[in-house]
């Protein structure tokens, strides 16, 4: 019986492993950005892949996927094992490229995912005491009225524009910088075909994007606010952009449309609490120290 092998994936191998990689990982590989990806190979054919990147002092597993015909045969375990071996320093301590110790590996899994939850638990992952990133779910009708949200509307000369009215050059530059620096971006970056440019907005100062929010129609009566970032130390900037998104959503969708929103820090948590009357967590955080 053939043995499952694992190999690091570089730019040249990204296309071969694309069926098993997330769009975000494939695009980062093709652009030569700092992403770690591994393929599981059986008899010369890729049957799965893992991808992720170092975020500060932790390693975030963006995605892990194995061909359904080859599951429960050790490919997933081989990928996790290869990742840990790849990141181990000379003294057996996981380290960043600069030699700083990696404190944990983590990933976010849907609390309803009956495949990945037991898999990560079996690999020694546990619920993460650090609550980010985390998905929240509510309904469009759960969002507070515009009058209440507009009470602290951002007052500035900076312009808030939908992506549909923002230059491709500026969006591309911001997307590449965000991926490289670890800022939240949707899969495939800001220029992904999944991003609805009429529902996604950015704050522009001069010819640079200072903040952005992206939205994607996921089908099945659900819209995802897939990324929210600001380089401006003023939470009202994000609120102003969210109001734009909400107004656009209300023009196009019914009140019972589900709204999924990704939170990456405590500021985003508070913003979500401020915007929604009711919202619940819908993903489970897995970590391995």
What would the 3-class secondary structure string for the chain be? CCCCEEEECCHHHHHHHHHHCCHHHHHHHHCCCCCEEEEEEECCEEEEEEEEEEECCEEEEEEEEECHHHCCCCHHHHHHHHHHHHHECCCCCEECCCCCECCEEEEEEECCCCCHHHHHHHCCCEECCCCCCEEEEEEHHHECCHHHHHHHCCCCCCEEEEHHHCCHHHHHHHHHHHHHHCCCCCCCCCCCCCCCCCCCEEEEECCEEEEEEEEEEEECCEEEEEEEEECCCCHHHHHHHHHHHHHHHHHHCCCCCEEEEEECCHHHHHHHHHHECCCEECEEEEEEC
Q: How confident is the model at residue 151 (pLDDT cuts 50, 70, 90)?
A: very low
pLDDT in tens, 186-238: 877 899 888 999 999 999 988 899 999 999 998 888 898 988 888 887 778 88
pLDDT in tens, 100-139: 667 677 787 776 778 888 888 888 887 655 566 677 888 9
Average pLDDT, integer, range 160-186? 89
| The pLDDT of residue 282 is above 50 | yes
Q: What domains does the chain contain, in order, with CATH numbers?
A: 5-102 (3.40.630.30), 134-284 (3.40.630.30)
pLDDT in tens, 44-103: 888 999 988 877 677 888 889 999 999 889 999 999 999 888 877 545 555 655 566 676
Name the more confident of 85 and 252.
252
pLDDT in tens, 175-199: 988 887 878 888 778 998 889 999 9
């Amino acid at each position: 019986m053939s043995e499952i092998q694992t190999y690091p994936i570089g730019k040249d191998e990204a296309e071969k492993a694309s069926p098993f990689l997330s769009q975000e990982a494939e695009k980062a590989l093709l652009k030569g950005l700092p992403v770690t990806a591994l393929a599981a190979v059986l008899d010369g054919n890729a049957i799965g892949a893992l991808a992720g990147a170092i975020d500060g002092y932790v390693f975030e597993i963006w995605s892990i996927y194995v061909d359904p015909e080859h599951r429960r045969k050790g490919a997933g375990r081989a990928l996790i094992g290869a990742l840990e071996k790849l990141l181990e320093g000379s003294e057996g301590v996981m380290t960043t490229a600069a030699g700083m110790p990696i404190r944990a590996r983590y990933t976010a899994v849907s609390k309803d995912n009956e495949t990945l939850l037991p898999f990560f638990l079996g690999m020694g992952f546990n619920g993460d005491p650090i609550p980010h990133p985390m998905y929240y779910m509510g309904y469009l009708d759960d969002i507070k009225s515009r009058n209440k949200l507009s009470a602290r509307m951002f007052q500035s000369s900076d312009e808030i524009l939908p992506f549909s009215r923002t230059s491709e050059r500026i969006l591309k530059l911001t997307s590449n910088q965000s991926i490289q620096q670890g800022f939240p971006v949707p899969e495939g970056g800001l220029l992904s075909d999944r991003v609805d440019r009429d529902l996604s907005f950015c704050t522009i100062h001069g010819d640079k994007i200072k903040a952005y929010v992206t939205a994607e129609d996921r089908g099945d009566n659900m819209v995802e606010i897939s990324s929210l970032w600001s380089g401006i130390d003023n939470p009202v900037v994000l609120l102003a952009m969210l109001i734009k998104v909400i107004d656009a959503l209300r023009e196009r969708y019914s009140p019972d449309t589900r709204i999924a929103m990704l939170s990456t820090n405590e500021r985003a948590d508070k913003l979500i609490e401020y915007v929604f009357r009711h919202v619940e967590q819908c993903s489970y955080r897995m970590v391995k120290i």
